[in-house]
Structure 1
Amino acid sequence: MNHKSMLLKLFLCLTCLAAGCTGMKSEDKATTLKVFYYDKESFNDIYGKLFTSQNPHVEIEVVPLNDYYKKGFSEEGYRELVKKEQPDLIFNFNLTSFVEDGMLVDLEPLLKKSKDVNLERMNKNMTAYLRNKGGGRLFGLSPTFQSKALFYNKTLFDQFGISYPTDHMSWEEVLQLAARFAKSERNAGKMYGYYHNTRHPFWLAKDIAETDGLSLTDAAGKKIMINTPSWKRIFDMVITGTKEGGIYINQPGDAQKGNLLLENPFTQGRAAMTVEYSYELGYLSSASFEWGIVTEPVNPATPNQSASLDPTELFGIYAGSKNIDSAWQLLEYINSEKLSKMNGRAGTHGSLPTYLDSMQKKDSNMEAFYKLSPQDAYTPSVPQEFSTDFYEQVRQSMTGVIEGELELDNMLIEMNKIGQFKLDQALKKTKPA
C-alpha cells in the first residue's frame, strides 16, 4: 500500500468519526425499558439476556410483581402500580378493562409490518380470544398458554375391553366411562376409572361446574344458587363415583408418600384417566404403560370451548410509554417465532408455546391442547372471606353425604340457607361506612 493510499484511508476514518459514524443506527439510541414481570432473574433468563445481546443499546429494568402477588394483588392495586411506575410493557393484566380505559397501545398496525410475529402460525383460538377481549383488536400477545387435556391409559382400556375416550366428551360421559372400570368383573378393587389431583371431591364438583358455566352465586354475587337441579346433578355424579370407587381423590396420607404429581394412581397405572395440564407429559415420559390424550371434558352446549385455556405470559404496551417503538421491538421479540422455537418445550410449568410448530417433541396427541378455544365465562365477585368459609362448609357437608350421614337434598337446602346468611354478612362488612 503506497503512502497516498494510507493518508486517504486515515482521512476518511477521521471524517467518519467526526460525522458520528459509530456503526449504530440513528434509531438505536440508548434506551431504558421498564417491564412488569414476576421477577428480574426469570425475565432475563427467558427473554432479557437474548434480547439485549442483540440490542445492546437497550437496558431493561424489571419491576418484580411477585411480592405484590403474595400480598394479594387486586386490579385496583395493579392500576395504581402502573400509574406509579409508568412502565413500557405491562404483564398479565385485565385485558378487557385496560382496553376500555385506553391504557394499551393497539398492536394491529405494528403487527402488519412485523416480519417476526407470524399470527398465521400461532394458536388461532388464542389470538381470537385475545382479539375478542380487545373488542376486535389485538392489544396484547402471549408467547405461551396453559390448557388441560384428558390423559388416558390405553393399556388399561385394552385390558378391560373398554373403548378409548374421545375429543369433546362431557364430564358426565367421562365419569360414566370411569364407572365401567369400577363395576367391571376384572377389577379386584385396585383400579380406578378416574383420578382427580385434589384434596376433596368438592373441588372436582367445582371444576365440573366451571366447565358447565355454573357458579355458587348469581351473576351479581349476592344470591346463593347451590340448591339447583344443575348443582344437584354434579354433586350426585361426583358423590356416586367416589362411593362406588370409579373416582379416586387424594387421601390425607397420600402427600406424605411422595410427590403426588409423580406418584399417583394414574402415573402408577392404577387409574384409567385423569385431567391435567401439559406438565403431566414429563411425568409420563417413563410410564410403564401406553397412554393417549384427548381434549379436556367440555360443556355440551359449547363443545369447542375450554374452561382451562388461558394466556400465561400476556404482555402489552402501556399507552403512557415514551418508548413505544423500543417497547414494540421487545414485545415483538418475546412473541417471535424464532424465540418460540428456541424455548419450545411442551409442558414447562404447565404452559405450551403459542406456536404449535415450536415444540421440540411434537406428537399428534399434543393437538388436544390446541383444539379448543377459551371459555368466555363470567365469574361473580364475592368476598374472599366468604368463599373460604363457605367452601369449607360445603366440603364438610359433602363428606357427610359420602359417608351416609346426610341426604344430598338436605345438604343442598342447608347449604343454601347457611351460604346466604354468610354471604349477606360478608357483603355488609364490605359496604363503605
Structure 2
Amino acid sequence: MVRGFIVILIVIITIVTSGCQSVDEQKIITLTVNYPSERIFFERVGYAFESKYPNIRIKVTENVSENQVSDIVFMRNKREYQEAISEGVLLNLNQYFTKSKREQMQLSDISTSMLRWEEDSGLYGLSPAFSNYVIYYNKKIFDHYSLPYPSNQMKWGEILNLAQLFPNSDENGNKLYGFKSNYYEFISFATFLRVGQTEGLSFLDPTTLKININTAKWKEIGEYIINAFRGGKIYSDIDENSEKFVHSPIFTGQAAMELSSQTTAYNFEKIHKQYQLEEIDWGMVTVPVDPLNPEFSDYYQLNEIYGISNSSVNQEEAWSFIEFITSDLGYYKKNKNQIMNYGVPSKLDLLEPIGDHDLSPLYSLKPSILSNNPYEKVHFEIINNFKEIGQSLFDQVLSGSLSLDEAFERMEQLGQITVDETKKRLEDEGEVVVFLKK
C-alpha cells in the first residue's frame, strides 16, 4: 500500500516537474523588423503582438544597412514591394495564404490582388489596410438647389458638369464651390493630369522620359478642364502666404462635392463638435472612372506592406505577425481608433461603421490591374517640376493671354526641357530617376 502510494507520488512529481520545465525552458524567439520608428511601431502593433505571443520578442531596426535584411520586411509602397521581389528578398506566402487560410482571414481581394506578382501569381506580402478616395457630397446643398445627387461610377466630365450647376455664392454671400479636388498646389493642371490618368493616358514615357502631351485626346481633356475652372465653380483658392488654418470647404458647408480620402468620413463628426461647425448631412460615391473600364479604379494605394525574408530562420513566427496585424479581431477592437488612421482595413468586416452611412464606395470598385501613376515610375521632382510649368501655362490660358493650342505646344517643349534638366541634376546628385517599370 505504502509502496503504491510512493509510486503514485513519484509519477505526480515527475509530471509537475516536467510541466514546469516546459514553461521555464520555453524558447524566446526574437523577430527583427525594419521600421522607420521603434516608438510608433510598438504603439501601433508591437506591444499588442508581444502580449498575445509572450514567447516572441520584436526588435525594430530603424536604420537598415544595405545588406541587412530583417525577418519581417516592411515596405512603404508597392514600388518598394516590387523591388524587393525582383531582388529575391521576399518569401512567397502562397504556402501560408492557402484557400482555407484566406477564407479564415477574410481579407479583401482589393489588397491581395494588388500584391499578386504577375510572373508567378505569387503573394510576397500582405497589407493590413488600403487607402482610397471617394467623392463626398453635401445633401443639403443639392436639395436646396433641387439638383440630383452624384452617383457611383460617374465620368470626370459628368462630375465637373454637375459642379457648374451651382452658384458661386449662397444667399448669404458666402463662397460656394461645386467641386473641390484633393490637390493643394497646381490645382487645375494637376486635375487635368489626373483626368488623363483615369482614362489611361500617359504624358511621360518612363523609359525614355519623353513628353507626349500635345495630342488630340489630351487637348480634349484640357479644354473641358479649362472651362470648368474658368467659371470659378471649382475650388482653387489657395493662399500660400496665409498662416491661418482653413477647414476644407466640405466641412464648412461651402462645397457641394469634394474628392477626399477615407479619413474624411471619420472626421465630419469630430470637426463639427470640436469647432462648433454646422453639422453636414453627407453621402459618398465612388471616384470618377474610365468610361472604358467603369468597374475599375486606380485610386487605391497600399501604404504599408509586410513580407517575410527568404533568409529568415523564423518564418513561421514572422507569419504569425503578418496574420496578427492583418486580421486579428481582438487586436482591432482594442485599437480601432488609431488603426483607422492607416486606411480601410483589408479585413473589411473590421471597417468601423458611421451611423447609417453607406461606406461601400470605399471598396466597391476593383483595383486597376496596371498602374498609370507617374509617381510610381519616375522621381517625384521630375513630375512636380513638369506640373509647375503646366500650371503656369494653364493660368495664361485661363487669363486669356494664351490659346489652348499654344499652351500645349509650349507644354511639350518647355516641359521636355524641364524634365531633361531635372533628370541631369538628380543623376549628378546620385538619385535614382526611373524606378521599376512594372
TM-score, normalising length: structure 2: 0.83
Contact residue 282 and residue 347 of structure 1 kept, 8 A: no
Q: Report the counterpart of residue 126 of structure 2 in structure 1.
A: 141
The reply to whether residue 176 of structure 1 matches residue 169 of structure 2 is no
Alignment of 1:2-151 (within 5 A): 11-12=10-11, 15-16=14-15, 19=18, 21-24=20-23, 29-64=27-62, 81=64, 84-92=67-75, 94-112=80-98, 118=103, 121-132=106-117, 135-151=120-136
Identity %: 29
Structure 2 unmatched runs, 5+: 273-277, 431-438
Count matched residues: 412
SS of structure 2 residue aligned to 1:335:
helix
Partner of 1:77: none
Matched, 1:365 2:351: no
How much does 1:13 deviate?
6.5
Distance 1:84 1:402 in 2: 52
Residue 237 in structure 1 maps to residue 224 in structure 2: yes
Return the letter of the residue paired with 2:239.
P
CA gap of 1:431–1:257, structure 2 versus 1, over 3 A, is closer
Within the candidate set 260, 269, 288, 1:297 is matched to: 288
Quote how far apart the aligned CAs of 1:90 are: 0.8
SS of 1:292's equivalent in the other structure is: strand
Larger deviation, residues 242-251 vs 181-190: 181-190
TM-score computed with the length of structure 1 as normaliser: 0.83
Q: Distance in 1 between matches of 2:111 and 2:295?
A: 13
Query: Could you tell me which residue of structure 2 aligns to residue 208 of structure 1?
Result: 195
- Cα distance in 2 for residues equivalent to 1:329 and 1:185: 56
1:348 equivalent to 2:334? Answer: no
Q: How far 1:361 moved relative to its partner? A: 2.3
Which residue is equivalent to 1:152?
Answer: 137
Aligned to 1:35, the other structure's residue is in SS state strand
Cα offset, 1:15, TM superposition: 3.3
Amino acid at match of 1:153: N
**CA drift at 1:318:** 1.0
Query: 3-state SS of the aligned residue for 1:392?
Result: helix
- AA at the equivalent of 1:349: N
Matches within 5 A, 1:252-401: 252=239, 256-258=243-245, 260=246, 263-285=247-269, 286=272, 288-338=279-329, 339-345=331-337, 348-349=340-341, 351-361=343-353, 363-375=356-368, 376-379=370-373, 381-382=377-378, 384-401=380-397
Q: Name the residue aligned to 1:195.
A: 180
The 1:226–1:256 alpha-carbon spacing in structure 2 relative to 1, beyond 3 Å, is same
Structure-2 change in CA distance of 1:383 and 1:140 (3 Å): closer
SS in 1 for 2:412: helix
Which segment is superposed worse, 247-256 or 163-172? 247-256
Task: Return the alpha-carbon distance in structure 2 between the equivalents of residues 18 and 184 of structure 1.
Answer: 81
| 2:260 partner amino acid | E
Q: 1:350 to 1:57 in 2, by over 3 A?
A: closer
Q: Deviations over 1:288-328 (max 9, x none)?
A: 23110111111112212222212222111011112111111
For each residue in 1:402-433, what CA deviation from the matched residue of structure 2 results, as whole angstroms up to 9, or x when unmatched? 22222221111012111223334445566799
Is residue 383–residue 426 contact of structure 1 (8 Å, CA) maintained in 2?
no
How big is the shift at 1:223? 1.5
Distance 1:347 1:307 in 2: 23
Change (3 A) 1:421 1:84: same
Residue 254 of structure 1, CA deviation: 8.5
Q: Quick check: 217-226 or 327-336, which moved more?
A: 217-226
* 1:127 alignment partner AA: T
| Matched position secondary structure for 1:315 | strand
Q: Which moved more, 1:162-171 or 1:306-315?
A: 306-315
**Unpaired segments of 5 or more residues in structure 1?**
66-80
> 1: distance between equivalents of 2:169 and 2:217?
29
Q: Secondary structure at the match of 2:235?
A: strand
Check conservation: 1:37, 1:62, Cα contact below 8 A.
yes
For residues 346 and 275 of structure 1, the distance between their equivalents in structure 2, rounded to whole angstroms, comes to 23
Distance in 1, matches of 2:342 and 2:28, equals 37
Distance 2:401 2:392 in 1: 11
Q: CA deviation at 1:160?
A: 0.9
Please state how far the C-alpha of 1:215 moved relative to its aligned partner.
2.8
Partner of 2:435: none
Report the CA distance between 1:219 and its aligned residue.
4.5
Residues in 2 aligned to 1:109 and 1:208: alpha-carbon distance in whole angstroms: 40
Could you tell me which amino acid in structure 1 is paired with residue 36 of structure 2? Y
Cα 1:399–1:187 change in 2 (3 A) is: farther
- Aligned pair 1:228/2:205, yes or no? no
Distance 2:15 2:67 in 1: 43
1:217 counterpart SS class: coil
After superposition, the Cα gap between the structure-2 partners of 1:103 and 1:12, relative to the gap in structure 1 and judged at 3 Å, is same
Moved more, 131-140 or 286-295: 131-140
Change (3 A) 1:267 1:324: same
Deviation string for 1:319-361 (max 9, x for gaps)?
1112111111211211224134444459833611112211232
CA-CA distance at 1:4 after TM superposition: 9.2
Partner AA of 2:351 in structure 1: M
SS in 2 for 1:172: helix
| 2:401 alignment partner in structure 1 | 405
Q: CA RMSD in A?
A: 3.3
Q: Which residue of 1 aligns with 2:433?
A: none
Residue type of the alignment partner of 2:190: W
Shift of 1:214: 2.6
Give 1:282's aligned amino acid. Y
Q: Which residue of 2 aligns with 1:76?
A: none
CA deviations 1:378-416 (Å, max 9, x no partner) are 445445554343322222222122222222211110121
> Residue by residue, what CA displacement relative to the aligned partner does 1:168-192 show, whole Å, maximum 9, x if unpaired?
1111110011011148998978322
